Amino acid sequence: MNPYTIFADIVAGRAPSSKVYEDDDVLAFMDIRPMTPGHLLVVPKVAARSLAELDPELGGKLFRVGQRLAAALRTSEVGCDGVNFFLADGVTAGQEVFHVHLHVIPRTPGDGFGLRGRPTSPRREDLDYLAASIRGALGD
């Protein structure tokens, strides 16, 4: 599969972006099609197509940087009073750019952003069954 993504070009400085944060491992910049004003993307500089390919240390760093950005969004002129983190892993999850990225989405009342879908009410035994299966898959 073609490893090229626009985010690789942004990280390399070959494509433009509105940068907000940068260190040796991570870059954060404005989403070009924001869900709400101030919508940010946090990406590892070393490309990983999926969570499975992402170094867990780097994954932790994406979250830490996201946390700082969330605090900055609240006090900046964006002026939000809530923040959503969102990460799409895989086509079915809505991933369009195959370079792992954490969305940091500022929220204000009535902004219209939200997850679609309806919560279900499974029986405890069904929850326990799947919990056991997932525990098994962890392989600890």
List, by residue number, the catalytic residues.
101
Q: Which stretch binds ligand 5GP (CB under 6 A): 31-39, 105-113, 122-130, 131-139?
A: 31-39
Does 48 bind ligand 5GP (CB under 6 A)? Our answer is: no
In the set 97, 107, 108, 111, which binds ligand 5GP (CB under 6 A)? 97
Q: How far is the CB of 22 from ligand 5GP (least distance, A)?
A: 14
Does 33 bind ligand 5GP (CB under 6 A)? Our answer is: yes
Q: What is the helix, strand, coil percentage profile of the chain, to 5? A: 35, 20, 50
The answer to whether the beta carbons of residues 92 and 73 sit under 8 Å apart is no
Does 14 bind ligand 5GP (CB under 6 A)? Our answer is: no
Burial of 103 (0-12, 13-18, 19+ CB in 10 A): middle
Residue 27: CB atoms within 10 Å: 21
Of residues 76 through 95, those in contact with ligand 5GP by CB under 6 A are: 88, 94-95
Nearer to ligand 5GP, 50 or 76 (CB): 50
Residues in the chain, how many? 140
Tokens found for residue 70:
């969330």
Q: What are phi and psi of 131, to 5 degrees?
A: -60, -45
Would you tell me which residues interact with ligand 5GP (CB under 6 A)? 6, 17, 29-33, 41, 88, 94-97
